[in-house]
Amino acid sequence: MSTADKNLSVFSIDDLPNISNKKFALVVAEWNSEITEKLYEGAYQTLIAYGASPDLLVRGNVPGSFELSVAAHWFAQRADIDAVIALGVVIQGETKHNDYINHAVAQGITNASIANNKPIIFGVLTPNTMEQAVDRAGGVHGNKGDEAAMTAIKMVGLKDKVLA
Ligand code: RBF
């Protein structure tokens, strides 16, 4: 199958943890909200499909992806939150703005994740075009929100195993 047709959201579902008592925070950027809402919907539905309790899913909105890091950090600081999923879409423009945002968010999320000792998932699309974003938010390449949720589930399970 060529990359152009491939649903990239393929993951193994062997040996997933019980997440019925796990609390997840989903942080969603409002920029490009027509896409980020689809990422959110995918992430939310995947968490539910794999056993999360709806009342243990919390959501926070931020204006743009640049704000994802600090908001994710705030949620991760809370003792009751097990993992955070950060969702955004930064589309390449005429300037290098996207590069600065993308690098800042990737680094910020990494730092916040390590500082709080909790999974914070980088669910940020960095496409060149809106079409590429659409393809990855419930389009031909699947939904990266689903993938972000599955990554959160797996990391929560791995953490429990490693630190048990
Ligand atoms: N935020 C996004 O989430 N996606 C974008 O594509 C995006 N593009 C931006 C382009 C420019 C020129 C500017 C100034 C901001 C952009 N932002 C974008 C918003 C950014 O993440 C942040 O909210 C603002 O820079 C305020 O800190």
Please state the domain extents for the chain. 21-162
What pLDDT band is residue 7 in, cutting at 50, 70 and 90?
Answer: low
pLDDT at 1 over 50: no
Q: What is the mean pLDDT of residues 113-131?
A: 97
CA-CA distance, 25 to 43, in Å (whole number)? 11
Nearest CA owner, ligand 1 atom 7? 90
Lowest mean pLDDT among 9-18, 27-36, 100-109, 113-122: 9-18
pLDDT at 31 over 50: yes
**Residue 36: CB within 6 Å of ligand 1?**
no
pTM reported for the whole predicted model: 0.95
pLDDT mean across residues, the chain: 94
How far is the first Cα of the chain from the last one, in angstroms, to the nearest whole number?
A: 41
* Amino acid 95: pLDDT: 84
Chain mean position to CA 64: 14
Tell me which of 36, 62, 97 to substitute to probe ligand 1's pocket, judged by most ligand atoms within 8 Å of the beta carbon.
97
* Amino acid 5: pLDDT: 56
Please write the tens of the pLDDT for every residue from 33-73.
Answer: 999 999 999 999 999 999 999 999 999 999 999 999 999 99
pLDDT at 13 over 80: yes
Q: What separation in Å is there between the alpha carbon of 31 and the centre of ligand 1?
A: 7
pLDDT at 80 over 70: yes
What pLDDT band is residue 2 in, cutting at 50, 70 and 90?
Answer: very low
Locate 21 and state its tokens. 């008592």
CATH 3.40.50.960 fits 21-162, yes or no: yes
What's 113's DSSP letter?
Answer: H
Locate 135 and state its tokens. 């393809």
Binding site feature residues for (2S)-2-hydroxy-3-oxobutyl phosphate = 94-95, 136
